[in-house]
Structure formats: C-alpha cells, structure tokens
Structure 1
Amino acid sequence: MGRRTPGAEPVPVASHHNMQTASGANDLVLHTEACFTAYPPDFLALLGLRPDSIGQAATLVSDIPRALAHLTPAERGALREPLFVFPTDRGSYLHEGRRTTEPVPLLRDRPDGPALEYSTLITAITPAGAAALAALEESLGRCAQSVLLGSGDLLLIDNRHAVHGRTAFRPAYDGADRWIQRVLLLRQLPSGGRIVPDTRLAHYPTDYIKALALPA
C-alpha cells in the first residue's frame, strides 16, 4: 500500500480515533489549516460525499475578524508579537524543557484584513502571550457556527480569515461513515511553480507523521 497524504483518507480510520486529524473522530480543535507550515493554503474546500447518519459530526467555522473585535488592543498587540510556539519533538526551540517550533506571531495584517495562523494546541512563551491566547480561544469558540454537511454540500473556508474544526462523533468503521473530501487551495504557487517535494510537514511531531504514514 502506498503512502497517504493529508486529506487523502476518505473515511474515519479506527487507529486515528483520538488523533487531531481529519481521519479521526474525537473533537477536532479549532485551527487554521496547515498552520506553521511553509505553504498554508489560502482556502479550504470541504465536499460532503456522505453525511454522518445521526448528525453528530458538525463542521465548526469561526470568523477571525469578528472574534478579534472582542479582544482588547493589548491582546491583539500581543498576538502580533513572536510569542507563540507549537510543541513538537522536531522543533529547534526549547520552551520549559520541551522542544517547539521557533516563536512566531499569530496575527499579521494584510491588505485584505487580519490574517491568523492558529490552533488550540499552540503555546505562549510569556504571560502576556498566554493571556491573549486564552482570550482569543474563548472568543473564537463563542463566535463559532456549526455546519452539517450533507451529500453534495460544498463548504469553502477562507483559511486566513476563519478557523475551523469538527465536533466528535461515533463512527461504526463499516464503510458507511461520514465521508468528507478536503481540497487545499493556493492563490499562487511558490516560486518554481510546484510544491514538490512538500516540506510543509517539517515541524509535525514524529509520532504524528508515523501514525499517518506520511513522508518523514
């Protein structure tokens, strides 16, 4: 069997049940797609091929500008500072004895509005950063809307201006579970015109890469 790539698995996988991945079944935390990677997509398209038969698996979407409006200027300022890391054994930075990615800002200003790279798995390295991160998490959760994708439904998410996640559900793993096809879209390819070899997974934890059978 060949290697899988992120998003290629069409149905939930029993061995991924508790993992933070589209092929899992527990709560998928709010996040921007492929944050802290070399080529995060501009848009994420989710096509419903087969719905969850009992309606447990809802896609969650939260508008970033709306959530940011509930934060104080100091909190938004902290989010623009390089105070945030992602825990991974492949990281080059040490925070409280753990390897992480290098500290980066979560919030950047772009001509089309504020752009956020975010996951609830991110950690702040200062008290001010931690307070801003907690306020952001609370606000994104409060602003989140629930979408149940039926067969043929297409949900297009602006990855720079919205976070998404999924509620937990109970798959039967019988070939008839919820099936969502995911497509990542870029406005413009990087210089060279191709994303091969794909270096986006450079900072993903080793155990995550092995569990998904992804290239190291």
Structure 2
Amino acid sequence: MPGQPRYLWLADLLREPILTGEVGPGSRLPSRSRLARTHGVSEQVSRHALRLLVSEGLVEARPGSGYFVRPVPTVHRFSRTDRSSGSGVDPLRTGEAEIATVQADNGVARRLALRDGEAVFRSRRLGTADGRPIALHTAWEPARLTAGTLRTPADADPGTGVLDRLTAAGISIDRVVEEVGVRPLREPEAAALGLAPGLPVLVVERTHFSGRRPVETSDLVGSTEHCRLVYRLSLARPQRKRP
C-alpha cells in the first residue's frame, strides 16, 4: 500500500501465514536481525512489526528464546437469550456460590436505586474450564426484598434462578436490561481469574426489573480471549401485501 509504514507491511507478511495456519502454533518466527536482512528493512522496523503481532495476541515473546506463534485460545460462548435468566455462566463449570451480606457501594446503590451503604446480598460464582478460571459472575440484590424468608440467595435450593426465586417471594420480574463493554480488570476480580490487574476484560452488566424497580443486578466478567456473547433475536416476518 503506497505510503504504508514499513513495519505494517512486514507485519502483514508475517500475519497472513499465521492466520491461514501455514505457520502453526508454537512455531518460532525469524529473529529481528534475520527479518531485517531477508526483507531489506532495519531491525527497528522488524522489532515494531513483531511487537504489533504480540499486541494482537498472535505472537508471544519469550525472553532469551525469541518470538513464537501463540496457540489458538479456546473460546466459550455464553448465551444471553436464556429463559431462566440465571447467572449466565453456562457452559462453564461452576462451584458453590460465595454469598455474603454487604453494604452497597456507590456503583451498586446507583444500579439498584438504593441509598449508599444499604444492605445487599452479594453472590459470587466462578466459572472454570479444564481447571482454569474463565469468568466471574457477581450479583447484588437488596436484602430487604427477601430477608427473613427462605427465598434469599443463601436459602434457595442450588440451581434456582433469580426469576424463580424472586417470583416465589412475590416479586414479578418483567424486564431485563444488559449493557456490554470492555474495561480494565479490577481487584479482587484479578485474583479470582488469575490475571493481572489492568488487563482488558469483557463485562456484561445485567439488571432485572420488576416494573420500574431494579431488583437484582450483576456483572459477568471474563477474559476477552476466551469469552464470546451469543444473542439470538427473533424478527417479525413482514406481512405480504395483498395484490
């Protein structure tokens, strides 16, 4: 491409065989000096090209060894059209939820239309695959909704979704709103997922409403490499016009 920086041109040459599988996972790429000699560029150009491929997640740098093609990460798809409106961590394996009564911080209070410091039930569940943590689901709901009943997150039967549990408590959920984004990973999320704080992660904020009142809100936090969201939307068929 006319005017294209040389390092982008070189990165394109290296990227294509990686994406097509011609250069497979674990393959070692030529050194910076060898790339420079082969393609008639400076080592600075080859260094920038390799660093670009590292930033794209296609290549990893191993100190003292060079640059290697990264294995293709396993992708887990999360259905966001489930009827139970549960944690949304399926199809990952999940352990027992960690449930506690805490004070709502400013962000949670705003999402649930509560006063700062009001008591909420917080539930945390870690989703794993092949023994590796992939996603963390954290949910909050006002404690006053079910406190003193057998419908709290701690008292409900295992596997009971929030829809069934709150419906049994006399609270009808009629709307769910999701907001999807990417943000830096926070502590203690980083500790739970075994990732470095500050890495970009996929975040799904889901809030359940009863009328105009938010009754539960949650965050699904997952690695951008391993997590995909699947939405299946039904479309109304256009009516045929009569001749």
TM category (shorter chain) comes to under 0.3
TM-score calculated relative to the size of structure 2 = 0.22
TM-score calculated relative to the size of structure 1 = 0.24
Compare relative contact order (CA 8 Å, sep 6+) and give the higher one, 1 or 2. 1
Could you say which structure has the higher helix fraction?
Answer: 2
